[in-house]
Structure 1
Amino acid sequence: MIALALDNRRSLLLEDVDYDGRSLSMLHRSYRKLLALSIRRLRLSLARSLLESSLV
């Protein structure tokens, strides 16, 4: 699900890129930020699941 969201976001960003160095650099930064956010969400979800399972 997250991979699909990342791929969709990347496709949208690529459609708007001028393909000059600055735009590609901005795209790269945006993609890295989105990836980092997705990883953080996965970690939080995993931590929450582990905590809930340890309380049972």
Structure 2
Amino acid sequence: MIPTEVAETLPELVPFARAVQARRPDDGTWCEAWTVRDALIQPAGRSRSLA
């Protein structure tokens, strides 16, 4: 469950979370080289490097 304050600030997060939860981590994405896991890890790694 995404807190209301977060969903209001980042409205794209809700459909992204639903899409990720509907797929398996090793499923492919539109980018042939990336899995669902890769799509999740990339923004998390970027935010860590910016922190």
TM-score (norm 1): 0.38
TM-score (norm 2): 0.40
Which is bigger in relative contact order (C-alpha 8 A, separation at least 6)?
Answer: 1
Q: Which has the higher helix share?
A: 1
